[in-house]
A = this chain, B = another copy of it.
Amino acid sequence: MDLSCTEDEEDFRHRLRAWLRRVLPALPPRPDPADWPARRAYDCGWQRMLHDAGYAGLHWPREAGGKGATPTQHLIFLEETERAGAPYVGANFVGLLHAGPTIAAEGTAGQRARWLPPILRGDEVWCQGFSEPEAGSDLAALRTRAVRDGDDYVVSGSKIWTSHAEVADWCELLVRTAPVTPDTPRHRGISWLALPMDAPGVTVRPLRTLAGTAEFAEVFLDEVRVPVANRVGAENDGWRVTMVTLSFERGTAFVGEVVACRRVLESLARTARANGRWDDPVLRRRLGRLAADCTALWRLTQWNVSEAQRTGGVPGVGGSVFKLRFSQVRQELYDAAAEVLGADALDAGREWVVDRLSSLSYTIAAGTSQIQRNIVAERILGLPKGR
């Protein structure tokens, strides 16, 4: 139970801080959230700066071009960048955090050489094509079909909840390469393909969320030809290929968000003090309780990171406990924000109001809380398979 940093870790933190102090003031202004090309340029520019300073692929293995940093170093990196107000990973999210690691783990040498360096340099942007309208919680129900035709697959179907699709170069795509039969379980027959987003037959349609913005898109695929060489892993083995990365987590998935929670909470307290609501003990105690919850999220993160460091990786199920609590606290935080704002919580021009809308997705995205509880019950607690 040691929460202090080693000398190496302190050193890493201080060098990072010094670098951030130097470069952040020189960054260009943040782009308009609705201007996708500008966002891409901004995010990729930041990634290039990280790359040039030696911070790109911090948590990737050295063989893949990464820095092979420990989970604690990665934690420090995410903590410090968030606290310094550095840009978020943004458009590089899928490349750095999922597609890249998948290619690093399962790709051929040629595939690694082709796709990994541009991700680290911020030259190419990836998006994710997993979910489908009829395959949400039940991802294995995906129907997008890929039929072999010579050296290509011909792919038809549609994907949903794809971020940055408008500006991505590549899409990590899950497709069905063998039909589901009584003998073929649904998790077989799925393959992982790297789809070039400029291929003929790819249509991207922005998907407007309840927050009024179009952070996601639908991707329609109409007989799109994808070279067989773009398949990572064996044919029909795509489920395993994907889950290797999805289920491997080092406890760092939400570091920035947890730091942000604390910042929002302190800001809420200041606002409440300014507008007089701080004098209401009901609200004040509610904020106090949220402070305990935010502390807990941070400590849980440190716990998971330490366990990952000790054991070489936290199975994804460990993250379910964290995510259940995190989603709940995050939503309660914005409910408290509404309480602080009073009637002004109806003014979407006020801070937190749109964030509150966005936070409604927390108990749904990346595995609903219901699915997470199933995972905890069955895989951690060992209860019999339900349903």
Contacts and interface: CB of A to CB of B under 8 A. Distances in A.
Contacts of A15: none
Nearest to A387: B387
A34 interface: no
Interface in A259-283: 280-282
A387 to B, nearest CB: 8
A280 to B, nearest CB: 7
A370 to B, nearest CB: 13
Nearest to A386: B387
A282 B283 CA distance: 9
A365 B387 CA distance: 25
A285 interface: yes
A14 B74 CA distance: 78
Number of copies: 2
A266 B280 CA distance: 24
A282 B387 CA distance: 41
Nearest to A280: B281
Contacts of A285: 282
Interface in A41-63: none
A387 B387 CA distance: 5
Contacts of A282: 281-282, 285
A146 B281 CA distance: 63
Contacts of A280: 281
Interface in A277-293: 280-282, 285
A280 B285 CA distance: 12
A121 to B, nearest CB: 52
A33 to B, nearest CB: 39
Interface in A143-163: none
A282 to B, nearest CB: 5
A339 to B, nearest CB: 13
A387 B280 CA distance: 46
Contacts of A387: 387
Interface string A209-237: 00000000000000000000000000000
A22 B285 CA distance: 52
A285 B387 CA distance: 40
Interface string A361-387: 000000000000000000000000001
A132 to B, nearest CB: 23
Contacts of A281: 280-282
A31 to B, nearest CB: 45
A374 to B, nearest CB: 14
A165 B280 CA distance: 53
A78 to B, nearest CB: 36
A387 B386 CA distance: 8
In the A-B complex, the 3 residue pairs with the closest CB atoms: A282-B282, A281-B281, A281-B282
6 contacts: A280-B281, A281-B281, A281-B282, A282-B282, A282-B285, A387-B387
